[in-house]
Amino acid sequence: MKAVGVVVEYNPFHNGHLFHLEESRRVTEGDVVIAVMSGNFLQRGEPAIVSKWQRTKMALASGVDIVLELPYAYSTQKAEIFAFGSISILQAIGVEEVCFGSEAGNIDLFHELYEFINKNKQHFNEQIQFYMSQGNSYPKATSLAFSSMKGKQQQLLDLSQPNNILGYHYVEAIHLLGNKMKGKTIQRKSAQYHDESFASETIASATSIRKAIFNKSANQKGTIHQVMPKSTLDLLTYYETSNHTLHDWELYFPMLKYQILSSTEAELAEIYEGEEGLEFRLKRFINTANSFAEFMHSIKTKRYTWNRLQRYCLHILTNTKKADMQWANAKNSPPYLRLLGMSAKGQAYLNQRKKLVDIPLITKVNSFHHPILELDKKVANIYALALPNRLQNDRLREEYTQSPIRFTEELKK
């Protein structure tokens, strides 16, 4: 059986994801689709709108065959580490081709860019440091460094686009891991990654969908059903009804505020992504902020992107220290595969492949021990604290008791 891999967050699953899924299967002629999915906290440093278990159901209901969790140590990182962890997992499970969405839609451009940057790596890194010394954020400095080197080679990939950046790092990871997989890319359709309004009647970005969901008075809320499968809408509704909430940063802001107020500057500096005196800036503004959004606007600077600051806040919330991320930052592959869900076809694939997988495939967190998994268990508990008190214990136990979800037609209802 041929496996095609996708790297996803599904926050929540929508029609654009469905298009990517179906196209990935078509262009690779894959028999099974394996998704590496971020857990309860995501790459932009924010909580997922619903739990990883509910998002696993969304994926299975729409055609994914196997869902594996991308650990927190990789899923809440800059693009380079996020991509390396994801590709490592797909390689370990035997994926032959990985297919990602991009603004470019041409895989050759990604490989050409990798060769260009690899050939000019020292100069590229020097240029990045130069532009950062001028007060630019790392992503902006990277884009400026690339533009300065690109010169007249206009055919090179545009690295100012978010999905092109991620795609480049997927291809980079494939090269670093020995080219055991092939990469394919599909051009993004209609909606762009950061769009805050619906781009068409049937395709919208996850950002715009979340905005519509949380804006209770928005006219768009009534049209959400047009931009996502019915199974997603039903699972969202069920989660909100049974848990009396959907997750966003505002739910966690009192906890974040407590962490910042009760920590010293020295303690905040030990938190991952705490650099260059950021801890003093957070201390300065936390007392006057009435919401997470207000706090973020008060600490935002040209040098630090919103996502970078959000990730730092997230690591403060979860008390994730620099030492906790050393394994991932050293570009060690994830030490295990955690299975979240599978279809019947996915189960058949795993039965066929399991003896060939050289790292543990775990279905219960108590069956394996590693600092990366211990971190996942901790952050899952923190994710649950946003729920009403009477529901917290059920969700706290879920991390330890939930078996991998097996797809049934009931998931589509």
| Whether 358 and 400 share a structural domain | yes
290 annotated binding-site participant: no
Point out the domain boundary residue: 268, 295, 326.
326
Instruction: Find the CATH number of the domain harbouring 87.
Output: 3.40.50
Point out the domain boundary residue: 326, 343, 378.
326
| Whether 242 and 254 share a structural domain | no
18 annotated binding-site participant: yes
17 annotated binding-site participant: yes
Whether residue 143 is contained in a domain is answered as no
20 annotated binding-site participant: yes
pTM over 0.85: yes
9 annotated binding-site participant: yes
Whether residue 122 is contained in a domain is answered as no
Q: What is the mean pLDDT of the chain?
A: 90
Gap between the Cα atoms of 49 and 16, Å rounded: 17
| Whether 9 and 41 share a structural domain | yes
11 annotated binding-site participant: yes
274 annotated binding-site participant: no
| Whether 404 and 288 share a structural domain | no
- Residue with more model confidence, 303 or 409: 303
411 annotated binding-site participant: no
| Whether 262 and 346 share a structural domain | no
12 annotated binding-site participant: yes
Give the model's pLDDT for residue 258.
97
Q: Is the pLDDT of residue 126 over 70?
A: yes
| Whether 199 and 280 share a structural domain | no
Whether residue 408 is contained in a domain is answered as yes
| Whether 242 and 253 share a structural domain | no
| Whether 406 and 266 share a structural domain | no
Whether residue 31 is contained in a domain is answered as yes
Whether residue 40 is contained in a domain is answered as yes
164 annotated binding-site participant: no
| Whether 236 and 314 share a structural domain | no
Residue of 209, 206, 142, 141 lying closest to 169 (CA atoms): 142
- Residue with more model confidence, 409 or 309: 309
Q: How large a percentage of the chain has pLDDT more than 90?
A: 70
Whether residue 147 is contained in a domain is answered as no
368 annotated binding-site participant: no
Whether residue 280 is contained in a domain is answered as yes
When divided into structural domains, the chain yields a total of 2
- Span 144-189, pLDDT tens digits: 887 787 765 556 788 878 899 999 999 999 999 998 899 999 998 6
Q: Which domain holds residue 261?
A: 249-326
Whether residue 306 is contained in a domain is answered as yes
120 annotated binding-site participant: no
- Residue with more model confidence, 173 or 125: 173
Least confident span in 57-61, 72-76, 213-217, 266-270: 213-217
| Whether 10 and 90 share a structural domain | yes
Give the model's pLDDT for residue 139.
77
175 annotated binding-site participant: no
Least confident span in 43-52, 223-232, 404-413: 404-413
| Whether 295 and 402 share a structural domain | no
| Whether 307 and 220 share a structural domain | no
Point out the domain boundary residue: 292, 326, 360.
326
